Each structure stands twice: as structure tokens, then as C-alpha cells.
Amino acid sequence: MSALHLDQVVKHYRGAGETVKAVDGVSLLVEEGDLVALYGPSGSGKTTLLMLAAGLMAPDSGNVVFDDRQVGEMSEREGAKYRMRDVGFVFQSFHLMAGATALDNATIKLIGDGRTLAEARKLAEPWLQRVGLGERVRHMPDQLSMGERQRVAIARALVNEPRLLLADEPTGSLDSKRSKEILAVLRDICHERRIPGLLVTHDPEARKFADRVHTLRDGHLHEGLDAELMATLS
């Protein structure tokens, strides 16, 4: 079964001064076909949790398991393959290549996985259309609005038909109408393809599209949306 399972996961950052308990004993099961929305104040550990799920860092203790594989124990090579083949990751800060068109940015994982440029472009273009960028495929990132750049980052995360969707504030730069469209795309992908999805968000709309909602506060996970956070969303 292709579920994402976090079991008592701990990740602390140790600097010169104090230790930051970014993720402090989190257990979470995201089942296939389920989109989970994760809310939490700034600095509560949301991005750290996604990076752990993507194998971009290893937990100090506890287990991160996807599809019966221990993500935290993958070698660098296995981790790279996991992210290329299995994971669709929408980064909070987009990470687009400045010198490449929207279309070529979206092809990057396909090229990395051995497709020719022509094949990759043919596969990526429908995804740009699906996020509403069919008219912008030849634009460079600096010719795109922030919301358009965000949608390129979303298309890029989806082109490899991931088996796990991880999205870090994918609607943070979008207006409310676009947010709803993108949230519907992400939800539909999880439901249609029966894949688990974990969506980090501050967007009040997101909970309406998610199957379940959790809150992260000071590295601790709680079910649902707590009253304090609810008040800040409206």
C-alpha cells in the first residue's frame, strides 16, 4: 500500500546556541487517496516535516516510511531516485531555473529520468495547461507573475505522475479564485490516482478540499484546526 507513515519522528536543529525542536515526536498516517491539509504558525516545523517525508533530510529518531520503504535510511542515490520517480514536491520558494522557459522548467524531472527534450516537453505541456498556463509556456520565470511562477512549480511537481504529493503552501501567491482551482487539481490528483498528499497551507480554503486537517504547533501535531489558528484564517 502506498501510504506515507511518520512514526514518532523527531528533527532538532542544533546551532551554536539553543537547539530548535522543529519536529518533536510527530506520528501521522496519510493513506492512499487522502489529501491532508497541515496548518500551523510560521516556524512550527511544517517545511521540515515535508523535507523529512521527501527524504531531503533524515530524522534524528523515529521512522518515515513510504510504500514500506524507510525514507530516512535511503542512500543519497536512492533518495534522489525516490524524489525523481515517486515524489511530487511543490517548494515554498518555487526553485525555478532562471534561464529556462516555463515549459522547460516543468520538464526537469523527466529529463533527469532519461526522457528526450522533445518527449519531456510533450508530456509537460498538458500539465501547464491544467494549471492555467497554456499561454505562458515560452515565458521565462522573470516574465511571469509570482502566481504564474507558483503554478509552474506545481506543474513541475506533477509531470512525473508522482505516487506521493508534498506541497508547501502551493497557493501562497495565488488569488482566491486560482487557489480554489489549484486546490481542486491537487485534490483530484490524490483521489483519481489514489495517492497520499500532504499539503502545508495557511489558506482558509484548503481545508474544504482536504480529506483531513491537522495542525502543527511547536513541532507537535494535533488533529483538526485549533481555535487560535482558526481565528487567524477566517
Ligand X SMILES: Nc1ncnc2c1ncn2[C@@H]1O[C@H](COP(=O)(O)OP(=O)(O)OP(=O)(O)O)[C@@H](O)[C@H]1O
List contacts with ligand X (CB under 6 A): 13, 15, 20, 22, 40, 42-48, 92
Give 13's strand partners: 20
Interface residues with Mg ion (CB under 5 A) are 47
Give the DSSP letter string of 162-185.
-SEEEEESTTTTS-HHHHHHHHHH
Instruction: Output 47 or 173, the one with its CB closest to Mg ion.
Output: 47
Instruction: Output 102 or 206, the one with its CB closest to Mg ion.
Output: 206
Least Cβ distance, residue 174 to Mg ion (angstroms): 17
Least Cβ distance, residue 183 to ligand X (angstroms): 18
Least Cβ distance, residue 9 to Mg ion (angstroms): 16
Instruction: Output 47 or 63, the one with its CB closest to ligand X.
Output: 47
CB atoms within 10 A of CB 222: 14
Give 167's strand partners: 90, 199
**114, interface contact from ligand X, Mg ion, none, CB < 5-8 Å by kind:** none
Burial class of residue 187, CB neighbours in 10 A (0-12, 13-18, 19+): buried
Instruction: Output 20 or 225, the one with its CB closest to ligand X.
Output: 20
Cα first-last separation, the chain:
36
Least Cβ distance, residue 219 to Mg ion (angstroms): 13
**228, interface contact from Mg ion, ligand X, none, CB < 5-8 Å by kind:** none
**173, interface contact from Mg ion, ligand X, none, CB < 5-8 Å by kind:** none
Instruction: Output 2 or 47, the one with its CB closest to ligand X.
Output: 47
Least Cβ distance, residue 46 to Mg ion (angstroms): 5
Give the helix/strand (H/E) hosting 110. helix 108-112
Instruction: Output 52 or 110, the one with its CB closest to Mg ion.
Output: 52
**45, interface contact from Mg ion, ligand X, none, CB < 5-8 Å by kind:** ligand X
Place of cell 485549533: 226
Return all residues near 224 (Cβ < 8 A) that are at least 6 apart.
Answer: 213, 214, 215
**42, interface contact from ligand X, Mg ion, none, CB < 5-8 Å by kind:** ligand X
**15, interface contact from ligand X, Mg ion, none, CB < 5-8 Å by kind:** ligand X
Place of cell 510527530: 26
Give the DSSP letter string of 1-33.
---EEEEEEEEEEE-SSPEEEEEEEEEEEE-TT
Least Cβ distance, residue 44 to Mg ion (angstroms): 9
Question: What DSSP designation does 83 have?
Answer: I
